[in-house]
Homo-oligomer: A and B are copies of this chain.
Amino acid sequence: MTTARIRDFLRTRRPEGPCLVVDLDVVRNNYTAFRHALPDSAIYYAVKANPEPEILKLLASLGSNFDCASVAEIQMALAAGATAERISFGNTIKKERDIARAFELGVGLFAVDSHEEVEKVARAAPGARVFCRVLTDGEGAEWPLSRKFGCVPQMAVDVLVYAHQLGLESYGVSFHVGSQMTKVDAWDSALADAKRVFAQLAKQGIFLQMVNMGGGFPTRYLRDIPSAEEYGKAIFASLRKHFGNNLPKTIIEPGRGMVGNAGVIKAEVVLVSKKSDNDEHRWVFLDIGKFGGLAETMDEAIRYPIRTERDGDDMEPCVIAGPTCDSADVLYEKNMYPLPITLTVGDEVLIEGTGAYTTTYSAVAFNGFDPLKAYVI
């Protein structure tokens, strides 16, 4: 996954310290693959996955819309050239003053999952479109979503009726099958729920128009994943199955699936050691860890491919840890990671599939270490 362009950049620029390098050609290819896989769905890039300005500019120029989690992200999408009608304020937890600010900026589409949030939107963005997030089980995702977002389908009906009563446009429902979802049929039961919400509201004279099918599209880490085309086929089949010929407008919100495989982190081996003479396993310490951008290794959830210049040599499992004085800053320990026996202090390692959810997770200055730098090429 380290492209020739990334290899060239690292070889010629030799950036100091750990850094992420993102190849825009890969982002463009991913956008095109989603476009072809789900030609009737609007793509709303999940800005939180990686908000680097060059990425947002490229996607804006390709016609992407943007799913934003905060006013700051909305401002970034606007600065990248997106118009306000191409932006969704997709966070269900918003301060009323942030809703008002987004509305002032022209944003007219808001996520809700509770009566209280509907009231805030009705006050701060009168007449705006809202979609209600429905809870799904998220089974099958490597980075599972909790119950944090959404409400049960029956409550979603009540929430959307309430929005209608308060003068908002009850526009649709959303769900999220869970990040890094590797089952192509995961969208099916959520679409069945969505259809039921549509039907119940129609009985009350409220006609929803849109299903926001969220993100969840995976990046290839160590295991193969289905292609965008396979997801597209399965999702379209479920839409037909549940909505028949009366298909709603649909939105997808790829984040990881759009940029994950476009980025590679260059890091350095700081120390290779053992804890005792008869320790069976080496500890390999890198200059990046959980607090420097690799937060998704929490509970060893995401297992990134790691490449070294010694990959032809014999491998042995080892513990991999970060450079901080924090004992929680260990990447892989329960499930040790095979690395070349010859790996030594000063060696460069490439951590692949790190284009999403790395730079922005990085701590401000934990232990005095700089946050992860990014280069977009």
Q: Could you list which residues of chain A lie within 8 angstroms of chain B, going by C-beta atoms?
A: 46-48, 51, 68-73, 76, 90-96, 113-117, 120, 135, 143-152, 154-155, 158, 179, 268, 270-277, 283, 285, 287, 291, 295, 298, 321, 323-330, 333, 345-346, 359-371
Q: Determine the residue in chain B with the shortest Cβ distance to A286.
A: B93
Contact B152 A276 (CB under 8 A): yes
Contacts of A143 in B (CB 8 A): 328
Question: Which of these, B95, B149, B270, B277, contacts A287 with CB under 8 Å?
Answer: B95
Contact A325 B117 (CB under 8 A): no
20 A–B contacts from the bound complex (CB under 8 Å): A46-B325, A48-B326, A51-B365, A72-B365, A76-B368, A90-B325, A91-B367, A94-B270, A114-B274, A115-B273, A143-B328, A148-B329, A148-B330, A151-B274, A154-B277, A155-B275, A158-B277, A361-B366, A362-B364, A363-B363
Question: Which of these, B135, B149, B361, contacts A291 with CB under 8 Å?
Answer: B361
Contact B323 A144 (CB under 8 A): no
Other than A93-B285, A364-B371, give 14 A-B pairs with Cβ distance below 8 A: A46-B325, A72-B370, A94-B270, A95-B287, A114-B271, A114-B273, A114-B274, A152-B275, A154-B276, A154-B277, A158-B277, A295-B363, A361-B366, A362-B363
